[in-house]
């Protein structure tokens, strides 16, 4: 059984650019959630995907979008990057539609210059 993996590990972009982050969920999990974690703060919920449909969204603008694929892997896309988007982006997978423990990946560290 493999855990949650994320790619890339680190990424540097400039303001206005677009970025795509990827996540492979743990085997047997059909739900993927994305979080943004600024330095020294707790993770902030961006959105959740369950069986390829968005199943909930936090207080993030539409330039944050996502996809979930038939194998339950997922992508997070951010358009028109801003300096404040610099953070650790975490992906978490879970079963039962996200109503139980979540298994987090190691995260992608995004720096926007």
Partner 1 sequence: SQKIEQNSEALNIQEGKTATLTCNYTNYSPAYLQWYRQDPGRGPVFLLLIRENEKEKRKERLKVTFDTTLKQSLFHITASQPADSATYLCALLQYNAGNMLTFGGGTRLMVKP
Shortest reach from residue 42's CB to partner 1, in Å: 4
Is 8 one of the binding residues for partner 1 (CB under 8 A)? no
Phi-psi domain of 40 (left: phi exceeds 0; alpha: psi -120 through 50; beta: other): left
Residue 85 DSSP SS3: helix
- Compute how many other C-beta atoms are within 10 angstroms of the C-beta atom of residue 27: 11
Least Å from the CB of residue 53 to partner 1: 11
User: Binders of partner 1 among 80-99, rule CB under 8 A?
Assistant: 90, 92, 97-99
| Site membership for partner 1, residue 60 (CB under 8 A) | no
Q: Does 44 bind partner 1 (CB under 8 A)?
A: yes
Torsion angle of alpha carbons 12, 20, 10, 108, nearest 10°?
A: 130
Q: What is the pattern of x (binds partner 1, CB under 8 A) and - over residues 62-81? A: --------------------
């Amino acid at each position: 059984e493999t855990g949650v993996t994320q790619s890339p590990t680190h990424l540097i972009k400039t303001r206005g650019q677009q970025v795509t982050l990827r996540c492979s969920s743990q085997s047997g999990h059909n739900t993927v959630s994305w979080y943004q974690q600024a330095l020294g703060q707790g993770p902030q919920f961006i959105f959740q995907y369950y069986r390829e449909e968005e199943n909930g969204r936090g207080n993030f603008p539409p330039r944050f979008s996502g996809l979930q694929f038939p194998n339950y892997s997922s992508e997070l896309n951010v358009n028109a990057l801003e300096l404040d988007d610099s953070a650790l982006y975490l992906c978490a997978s879970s079963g039962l539609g996200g109503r139980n423990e979540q298994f987090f990946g190691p995260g992608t560290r995004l720096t926007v210059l």
